Amino acid sequence: MAQPYRTCRRERNSRHPGIILFAGALLASAGGCGLDHYEQRMEAEQKRVKHFDEENQNLEVPLKLPEKKGEDKDAIQEKDFFFRPPKGISTTPEPKPLGMFYRYASRDANANLQDVLVAIVKAKETTEKFRKDILQNLVGLGLIAGPPKTRDVGDPPVHYDYCELQSGPNQPGGVVYFYRENVPGEGTYQVAIVFRSAQPGSANEGSAMDLALASLRVDNAARIQHSRFRPPPQQPATRGRR
């Protein structure tokens, strides 16, 4: 019975060699910092790795924004926006936008989450005009916003205002999330993210949705996330038994 236990443990640890190195460094300094401090840091590192695994299991790589054209001075550069959509959503926008939105379609026509719509602007002054324009754009897509609500997602929390969206017959419903962040010297980033789903009320559910919303970063925080991000390793193809 001892041999299978050793094998299982070795395989488990091999998936995260960083934890092994991190633990070794902490053990070397545990005498000076104390066992409690060591355990707290190990717990924090394990939590970070677990969250990283959950993201890779449920989310795609970061979305790409359309290339910034020379005459479009107000377009947001890709490095200033970081957002990982749920699995199954294309990370490249369709060539033709839907009004203010870039559309990222599902790769599976039969999936419940049909697409993700994204709009992002940067203004010198904080304004409600962006939200009014977004809601009007959604009306043009056959979506009527319900009463505004708020929620915080992730750790550290990302604050959103959001509205559930009602649609007409044979049209996907969904939810629109609004995010705003003032960056001193740069202006105010305003983001609208719409999840459209085949089943009414389901676009605001699920751990993948929360993980996606928690991944949002803009400006310098987005650049840091892009520099740190590494695509998850490809899983080797499994061979059938002979």
Is the CB of residue 196 less than 8 Å from the CB of residue 117? yes
* Range(s) of the domain holding residue 89: 66-228
| Contacts for 147 with CB less than 8 Å, ≥ 6 apart | 163
User: Is 153 within the bounds of a domain?
Assistant: yes
Domain boundary at 36, 57, 78, which?
A: 57
Burial of 94 (C-beta count, 10 Å sphere; 0-12/13-18/19+): middle
Q: Is the pTM of this model over 0.75?
A: yes
Which residue, 54, 175, 41, is CA-closest to 117? 175
- pLDDT tens for 172-199 read 789 999 999 999 888 899 999 999 998 7
- pLDDT tens for 91-144 read 999 999 999 999 999 999 889 899 999 999 998 767 889 999 999 999 999 999
Shared domain for 161 and 111, answered yes or no, is yes
Shared domain for 115 and 156, answered yes or no, is yes
Is the CB of residue 58 less than 8 Å from the CB of residue 82? no
pLDDT in the model for residue 11 = 42
How many folded domains does the chain comprise?
2
**With bands split at pLDDT 50, 70 and 90, how would you rate the model's confidence at 5?**
very low
Q: Is the pLDDT confidence value at 12 over 50?
A: no
**Around Cβ 136, how many Cβ atoms within 10 Å?**
11
State the virtual CA torsion across 189, 150, 210, 205 in degrees, nearest 10: -130
